[in-house]
Chain A
Amino acid sequence: DTEVTQTPKHLVMGMTNKKSLKCEQHMGHRAMYWYKQKAKKPPELMFVYSYEKLSINESVPSRFSPECPNSSLLNLHLHALQPEDSALYLCASSQESGREKLFFGSGTQLSVL
């Protein structure tokens, strides 16, 4: 299995809702990432987990809360989002963090109303 699986593919939520994005990989990768991508822009790093520990938080607002329950799973908990948070949220994994090939999931297209 050389895929990163993300659910859901699409999500519409109100500003008062709480939702979670899920990501799973079974390649034995030890680094997992959350990226945010706006239309016609490059992926923007949010968080990096290395060996199940948060190693990078790119000054992301606290309304985004990552969680790594085990080496195969990565969640992103969403609460009190703003309309400007609407974007494609991509999960990725790599063998180790940094200078290695990133395997991206197909993303969750999030709309905040």
Chain B
Amino acid sequence: GENVEQHPSTLSVQEGDSAVIKCTYSDSASNYFPWYKQELGKRPQLIIDIRSNVGEKKDQRIAVTLNKTAKHFSLHITETQPEDSAVYFCAASSAAGNKLTFGGGTRVLVKP
């Protein structure tokens, strides 16, 4: 089945700096890659997603890039703010398209 690796497991940045989280996946047939943010004690919420027919997608301070050849995708957060502090999970959809496999998560701390 699909295996998703996520790095780093923790990331501490100064407010205003950029944060980058990287994920690799194993199933070359996967074609949907969402990112979820989970604040402490809250539910995971989708922040951005990308499909395999697109190489990059942006939404304000958040961007995701996908390299299908290398089977990796990354989340970029620019001008980080304290409210960006949370755990971020990447995920990849199985070839059958009926379930998501999550990466291990990255705990991001934005220091004021």
Listed in ascending order, the chain A residues whose CB lies under 8 Å from chain B are: 40-45, 48, 50, 55-56, 90, 97-99, 101-102, 104-107
Contacts and interface: CB of A to CB of B under 8 A. Distances in A.
A101 B44 contact: no
A5 to B, nearest CB: 11
Contacts, number: 55
Nearest to B105: A42
B43 A106 contact: yes
A101 B93 contact: no
B31 interface: yes
B32 A98 contact: yes
Given A98-B98, A99-B93, A43 B44 contact: yes
Interface string B70-112: 0000000000000000010100011011111011110100000
Contacts of A102: 34, 36, 44, 46, 100
24 contacts: A40-B87, A40-B107, A41-B104, A41-B105, A42-B89, A43-B44, A43-B102, A45-B99, A48-B98, A56-B98, A97-B97, A97-B98, A97-B99, A98-B32, A98-B94, A98-B99, A98-B100, A99-B31, A99-B32, A99-B51, A101-B46, A102-B44, A102-B100, A106-B43
A98 B93 contact: yes
A105 B102 CA distance: 17
A56 B93 contact: no
A97 B99 CA distance: 7
Interface string B17-43: 000000000000001101010000011
B98 A50 contact: yes
B14 interface: no
A104 B43 CA distance: 6
* The 5 nearest A-B residue pairs measured at CB: A98-B97, A42-B102, A99-B32, A104-B43, A98-B98
